[in-house]
Chains A and B, each alone.
Chain A
Amino acid sequence: MHGIDKMFIETNEIRLEAEFFQLSTNISSSVLICHPHPQFFWV
């Protein structure tokens, strides 16, 4: 995987829509970003 990949992360229960960025497979650290939830987000 190189660049931005749109994907689904799958478990036995659900499929999560996701985007993953990685420029090199040599990178060993990553930031996991968690969205606000629209049900609890006042816009």
Chain B
Amino acid sequence: MYNNIVSGVFNMCVQNKISCLRFNFRGVGSSTGSHTSGKGELSDVKACVDFLINEINIEKIIICGYSYGAAIGCSVVNFSKKIIGYCAISFPWDFMGPKYKKLSQTKKPKLFIQGNRDTIALYENFENHYNFYFDPKKYKIINGADHFYSGFEENVAQEVSEFYHSIAK
């Protein structure tokens, strides 16, 4: 369940009294099942959305995904009207292929966070991918950060916090 960026965002939510849910994909940690190359993992995100809506009575969901979690999580954005936007941290477009780029297209608000030293979610291709998306959208380049954001966790969490407060009114 631990990752420096995910934990940074989760802890920011707790400190700011923002409701939040994090989970391990199937086959990871204590989650059952095994990796299914995306199809089952999309269902995992939908199951979490259903949980928030049906069990907790949440009306507005903001998806925040990091790396693989950005590609899969943001691709569920149009699953429910109660998902009001997403924040993608280092969306690995080039690695994951065009499927997730298309699935994550939406007219809902979007924030893309990208390190300018990221060699996995390639920084040099970021603008090209970003330009694909409809408005409303915005981006934040974290100068000096690679894909792992070591030392930049608070910067990322702060961006997520500001995005959350801008759309979850």
Q: Which residues of B contact A (CB under 8 A)?
A: 1, 3, 6, 9-10, 13-14, 17-26, 28-33, 35, 40-41, 43-45, 47-49, 51-52, 56-70, 72-73, 84, 92, 95, 120, 147-148, 160, 164, 168
Contact = CB atoms under 8 A, between A and B. Distances in A.
A41 B162 CA distance: 27
B12 to A, nearest CB: 9
Contacts of A20: 19-21, 56
Contact of A34 (B29, B33, B35, B69): B69
A16 B47 contact: yes
B47 to A, nearest CB: 5
Nearest to A43: B148
A35 B35 CA distance: 14
A31 B62 contact: yes
Interface of A: 1, 4, 8-9, 11, 13-25, 27-43
A33 B10 contact: yes
Contacts of A40: 67-68, 92, 95
Contacts of B63: 31-32, 34
